[in-house]
Structure 1
């Protein structure tokens, strides 16, 4: 099915209940989604869609399911995400400065206080 090209085609599209939409999305029956928004809403809507997709595990950095990767490929992928591999990255110095924000393992306590406060003013 091709996406609608005019407003009259858009309003003729069938409605889809949210539960059915989520079920079909999880079952991979839906291959493409087009969201119409005003220009102001575009950035906020894209961010919320990404958060939703991440929470529902629809986004992936790889088209391949990690469970089918062989051990060598898994090791290569893990090594490419290491601090050592970032040394050639132009942002390496900044990343090292905030290394405690990107720990190798999940910490058991909060990171040390850097004195930065973000307070909402009324």
Structure 2
């Protein structure tokens, strides 16, 4: 050996994240205002506190800034999503461009209270009778069977298993 030491190249474990590089003074002078450098204290139980600088990106706030962002390739998006780097995905579209199908596919909890109340009123006995639906007479006859409030969970399992032997002596299959 000539006196120089060789550094062992460490392999990163799969899924391990790289620590961000420190920037030199030339890079920090050229950066735009959208990234701020903040000093943060790192606390790990059982070890001394460490101070370090982290970069905090301030997100775009206006529609013009958002639409001027560059596109993210789908494979980078999937990689970031799988790695946990992407926390939230938002789809931005013009209100006029949103189709009725998208509006109908929206979850019921997302609709305004007035729309929910309107839908509830449309499902009442009076509206069923007014619509001339032939089911009304039968449904009214068995009205005492329908609960006033729909239960939030399934009833308790009583351990009763019903089976029909299609082939005598065959075992039954329980599906839940």
Short-chain TM bin: 0.3 to 0.5
Between structure 1 and structure 2, the one with the greater Rg is 2
In terms of fraction of residues, the more strand-rich structure is 2
